[in-house]
């Protein structure tokens, strides 16, 4: 398929959103106050993860077919299509797609949050949801940044169940993880070796207030630091060039990346709000590593890398290095 967002046989994508459309106009639009039962259907999260012991065929000494079973392994599969999702150990604890939305429904009612998006990726192997938490500030006039709580889990053994606090710059949908403590960027994290306990997740959400306060102060600090094009170029080269080579010896990919970052620094989406500031350096970085060099980038991998993979790591590294640089 063109995108790795899960697509059903009727061509509908397992993705729903409230508000601005995302992911190349895919998915179903809902109102923020739509019932959770409607969200489950429209986001394609109305199925369950089932399990079965793993069996395999072999041949006995008389050349007859024999079915063997692995008692310590299970295959997980979708209840609707019966498509296999993964093979896991016997002590793997499943989080169901609907449980992710039920969790958000609960905390939204308690805290006044609003469910904003939900869906599945990679055929249903990973699923997620986001909620608006009412945290908003303007980095500068008319340049709004809002906070969301993101909950994600997998059934293919690649990811623990975790909640994260993220920010989105409204003008361009650039994202950045908001650190909630010196030792962790996540609100909560729980492996599939333990049972899902939504109440335990709720206990850690108080970290958001202090994390958002520090984050907004850091962003505003960057808006106040004036920088030249040469400063920005030197910063990007320091971040992305091989320090053991001269500028002329750098790989073509690294040169292209730095050139792209400089172009985004000068003319990227929303550059008029951050022109000539350290904040502009950050926005160039978040735009590149949220949306990629080309708009043809695969939507699911774009989402995954931006929130959990190498692109998220790049954004946070640059953010922290930039704060240290302007503070020096």
Closest CA to 234 of 266, 260, 265, 258: 258
What is the pLDDT at residue 1? 34
User: Taking residues 115-121, what's their average pLDDT?
Assistant: 90
pLDDT over 90 at 160, yes or no: no
Taking only the tens place, the pLDDT of each residue in 237-252 is 999 999 999 888 989 9
Distance CA 153, CA 100 (A): 8
CA 313 to chain centre: 11
pLDDT over 90 at 113, yes or no: no
pLDDT over 90 at 226, yes or no: yes
Taking only the tens place, the pLDDT of each residue in 279-289 is 999 999 999 99
According to DSSP, the residues that pair with 69 across neighbouring strands are: 55
8 Å CB contact between 243 and 237: no
Pairing of strands 15-17, 28-29: parallel
Residue with tokens 């650039």: 174
Calculate the alpha carbon distances from 143 to 23, 49, 131, 171 in Å: 22, 42, 21, 7
Taking only the tens place, the pLDDT of each residue in 5-48 is 788 888 888 999 997 665 556 789 998 789 999 999 999 999 99
Distance CA 31, CA 33 (A): 5
Distance CA 116, CA 304 (A): 17
What is the pLDDT at residue 2? 35
Distance CA 104, CA 99 (A): 9
User: Taking residues 83-112, what's their average pLDDT?
Assistant: 88
Distance CA 124, CA 14 (A): 9
Structure tokens at 327: 């503070």
Pairing of strands 126-140, 143-154: antiparallel
CA 288 to chain centre: 15
Q: Of 83-92, 150-159, 206-215, which one has max mean pLDDT?
A: 83-92
Note the pTM of the prediction, 2 decimals. 0.83
Residue 258 burial (10 A CB sphere; 0-12, 13-18, 19+): buried
pLDDT over 80 at 105, yes or no: yes
Of the pLDDT bands very low, low, confident and very high (cuts 50, 70, 90), residue 301 is: low
pLDDT over 70 at 181, yes or no: no
Residues 6+ apart with CB under 8 A from 241: 247, 250, 254, 258
Number of helices and strands in the chain (H, E): 10, 11
Distance CA 160, CA 158 (A): 7
What is the pLDDT at residue 201? 60
What is the pLDDT at residue 139? 96
């Amino acid at each position: 398929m063109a995108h790795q967002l899960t697509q059903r046989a009727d061509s509908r994508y397992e993705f729903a959103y409230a508000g601005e459309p995302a992911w190349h106009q895919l998915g179903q639009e809902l109102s923020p106050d739509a019932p959770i039962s409607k969200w489950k259907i429209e986001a394609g999260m109305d199925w369950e993860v089932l399990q079965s012991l793993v069996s395999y065929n072999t041949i006995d000494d008389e050349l007859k077919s024999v079915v063997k079973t692995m008692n310590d392994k299970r295959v997980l599969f979708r209840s609707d299509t019966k498509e296999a999702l993964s093979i896991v150990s016997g002590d793997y604890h499943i989080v169901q797609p609907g449980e992710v939305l039920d969790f958000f429904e609960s905390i939204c009612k308690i805290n006044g949050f609003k469910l904003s998006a939900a869906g599945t990726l990679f055929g249903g192997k990973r699923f997620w949801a986001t909620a608006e938490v009412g945290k908003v500030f303007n980095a500068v006039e008319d340049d709004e940044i809002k906070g969301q709580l993101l909950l994600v889990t997998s059934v293919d053994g690649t990811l623990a169940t975790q909640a994260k606090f993220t920010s989105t710059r409204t003008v361009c949908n650039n994202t950045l993880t908001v650190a909630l403590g010196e030792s962790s960027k996540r609100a909560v994290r729980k492996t599939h070796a333990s049972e899902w306990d939504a109440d335990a997740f709720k206990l850690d959400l108080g970290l958001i207030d202090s994390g958002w306060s520090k984050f907004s102060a850091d962003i505003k600090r960057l808006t106040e630091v004036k920088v030249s094009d040469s400063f920005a170029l030197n910063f990007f080269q320091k971040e992305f060039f091989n320090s053991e080579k001269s500028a002329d010896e750098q790989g073509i990919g690294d040169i292209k990346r730095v050139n792209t970052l400089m172009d985004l620094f000068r003319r990227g989406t929303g550059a008029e709000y951050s022109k000539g500031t350290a904040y502009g350096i950050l926005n160039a970085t978040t735009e590149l590593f949220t949306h990629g060099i080309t708009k043809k980038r695969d939507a699911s991998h774009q989402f995954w890398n931006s929130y959990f993979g190498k692109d998220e790591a790049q954004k946070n590294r640059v953010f922290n290095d930039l704060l240290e640089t302007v503070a020096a």
